[in-house]
Amino acid sequence: MPPPPADATRRYVADAVVTMNGDARILRPGAIEVDGDRLTWVGSPDDAVPAAGTDVVAVGGLLMPGLVNAHGHSAMTLLRGAGDGLPLDRWLADVIWPREARLTAEDVYWGMLLGSAELLRSGVTTTCEQYFHPRAVAQAAVESGIRCVLTPGIFDLPGGGAPVTWQDCLDEAAQLHADVHGRQGRLSIGLGPHSTYAVPDEGLAAVAKVATELDALVHIHVAETRSEDDAVRLRLGCSAPELLARLGVLDCRVLAAHSVWLSDGDLDLFGEFDVAVAHCPQSNCKLGSGVASVPSMLERGLRVGLGTDGPASNDNLDLWEEMRLAPLLARGIARDPGALGTADALGLATRLGADALRVEAGSLEAGRLADFIRLDVDDAAFVPGVSAEDILAHLVWAASSRHVTDVWVGGRQIVRDRACTTVDDAGVRREVSTRARRLAGV
């Protein structure tokens, strides 16, 4: 069959389409139409208008929105597994930061390329990244084809390498924003001040000023551990969110990663300032940090997404695991199976996560970005699938990333038959392994 003309609308017909739109509508069978990088129509194949020039592709299986990773440092594939068993403060100071001080831009490029391919293969189409050497992160993300909200890491980096200051990082981030933001459809630039403990107050105030000028997303770790909360209270007599409010940071568009140790007053503050949250249950459990109260956040109408965090504290980039762990923890802690619903868990990984990043994806509806994935449902995990509710339940409680076969970002197919077409996986794995040994001093 000859390829369709470049401007042709393409219609994908599947056995099931899980839209994750406002009604979480499920179509069996279903179809979506794509024109350029946007969805133009979603519905039953019987209702599709037989327009001339529409290229119809029968894909079978199940189509759903691509998953959204709301918090990651994916280039840390270079440090996967490092420092297991340590609490966050010692894990950072004794293991992670000394190795990160030795990172070159080329290391980060290869680490991010490997991370991007891993994310894409598991069905993640958008990732929000915070890391060093942001131009290397950007280059790898663009080459892989993933949609990336890149918030360059800003802080004073301790360790044995060349000194890095928050001011250097902020200048570099602002320059990157000027150079590329809004010029490449899949890449947007925000600011990533690390935390209240790794950036001095004057640095956070300076970030807030620049973010306001640029209308940039501020992506920051907040109240990840009890010791972080204790330290701010000891120093200033207030919580980390209260400090961020005082410094003007909450006046910006803020994405607060983790947000484990929040009081009711802090949650109200987040509601007042419309702060979005990236919930990272697996990282928080692995580092023994605690469990964020997602039900309390959703009750207040907060935009909550799910994050893998870096692959040194997870240790993979499989968001399906977060999607299952989030409701497991919420229900187990509350002793209430209604504490976090199945459709809500799927929403955290798709539509709500996209809303947290303010990316027009996460839902299959006309006008949204054509970021979608296909799952093989010819598998025990999708049996019996009697009702539409069963399909949602099977996705959250029985399915996994191994069911993802194909991935499209902005209408472009990136993963085909489980292989990432943009990345030479074996070559990148070898490159990252060699560089990781150097960073570990082996």
Q: Which two tokens stand for residue 208?
A: 């807030």
What angle, rounded to 10 degrees, do the helices at 166-180 and 134-144 form? 40
- Give the number of other CB atoms < 10 A from CB of residue 264: 10
Residue of minimal Cβ distance to Zn ion: 309
Closer CB to Zn ion, 309 or 406, in the complex? 309
* Stretch of 31-39, 163-171, 212-220, 301-309 contacting Zn ion, by CB under 5 A: 301-309
Each residue 54-83 as x (binds Zn ion by CB under 5 A) or -, in order, gives ------------------------------
* Stretch of 112-120, 244-252, 264-272, 306-314 contacting Zn ion, by CB under 5 A: 306-314
Closer CB to Zn ion, 64 or 277, in the complex? 277
Closer CB to Zn ion, 172 or 309, in the complex? 309
Per CB under 5 A, does 322 bind Zn ion?
Answer: no
User: CB under 8 Å to 98, separation ≥6 — which residues?
Assistant: 159, 160
- What is residue 76's three-state secondary structure? helix
User: CB under 8 Å to 286, separation ≥6 — which residues?
Assistant: 313, 314, 315
Closer CB to Zn ion, 15 or 318, in the complex? 318
Give least dist CB 29 to Zn ion, A. 40
Closer CB to Zn ion, 118 or 309, in the complex? 309
Q: Which two tokens stand for residue 137?
A: 């992160």
* Stretch of 5-13, 226-234, 307-315, 318-326 contacting Zn ion, by CB under 5 A: 307-315
Give least dist CB 416 to Zn ion, A. 31
Give least dist CB 282 to Zn ion, A. 12
Q: Using CB atoms within 10 A of its CB, is residue 155 exposed (0-12), middle (13-18) or buried (19+)?
A: buried
Q: What is the largest CA-CA distance in the chain?
A: 69
Out of 229, 309, 371, 406, the residue judged to bind Zn ion by CB under 5 A? 309
Q: Could you give the CA distance from residue 428 to residue 419 in angstroms, rounded to a whole number?
A: 14
Closer CB to Zn ion, 224 or 355, in the complex? 224
* Stretch of 162-170, 240-248, 302-310, 397-405 contacting Zn ion, by CB under 5 A: 302-310
Closer CB to Zn ion, 24 or 96, in the complex? 96
Torsion sign over Cα 313, 127, 164, 438 = positive
Q: How many residues bind Zn ion (CB under 5 A)?
A: 1
Give least dist CB 31 to Zn ion, A. 39
Place of tokens 């001080």: 101
Q: Could you give the CA distance from residue 256 to residue 199 in angstroms, rounded to a whole number?
A: 15
Contacts with Zn ion, residue ranges (CB under 5 A): 309
